[in-house]
Amino acid sequence: MVYAYLAYTGQRPQSTTDKLTFEDFEKALRIDLPTLRVFGVKAKEFLHRIPIHPVVVEWLKPVIEFKNLINAKDNDPVFPYNSLRIVLIDLDIKVHHTGMRIQPSHFRKFFEQMCNNVLMAHPGLRDYIMAHNTGSLDVQSYDGKLPSEIYHQYMEKWGRVNLVPEGVSLRKLINHLCSQNLS
């Protein structure tokens, strides 16, 4: 799930995603057009809204529901960086053209490349969501936009993108997890 979130948003896995709590995601999912309100850590004091793609919303809801099963608190991080890193090490998935193991930062680069080369997203929108080049005029032009405007512009480019592999069923995964002893 976290990998979909990272790929659809281009967020920094350690300095931003690692800090997002169950409460942050619960608030975002209560909004009609789900967006996370995030302070950039590397981009000092840069408050921005991150649109949450419908595919991520679908996969995020069960994660939030599992909060009680794992005895998590509202202010606990949903995606701790070390867990993310360890899972990627265990999966040992290699990048096709280099043979190197996939790293958490590769999802940020994936988002950037999709915006640049496939979806042709406006650089200001891409950089705003990524909290990248926050001093540029392109990014500053997004600073005053309503969250709904940012969400709609994001969905105009990303709305038809489905990164979930064919044959992968959320329902089957949830049923499998529910049958496991999580304590």
Q: Which of 149, 146, 166, 154 is nearest to 119 (CA)?
A: 154
What is the reported pTM?
0.85
pLDDT at 181: 58
CB 94 within 8 A of CB 100: yes
What are the angstrom distances between the C-alpha of 145 and each of 50, 140, 154, 166?
12, 10, 13, 36
Tell me the per-residue pLDDT of 47-104, one tens digit each, with 9 for 90 and over: 788 999 999 999 898 888 888 778 899 999 999 898 888 888 888 888 888 888 888 8
Please state, rounded to an integer, the average pLDDT across all residues of the chain: 86
Mean local confidence (pLDDT), 162-172:
81
Structure tokens given for 152: 């709609």
All structural domains of the chain with their residue ranges: 2-172
Q: Which helix (H) or strand (E) holds 108?
A: helix 105-113
DSSP 40-104: ETTTTTEEEEEE--HHHHHHHHHHHHTTTTTT--TTSBSS-HHHHHHHHHHHTPBPTTT-PBP-T
CB 91 within 8 A of CB 43: no
pLDDT at 182: 53
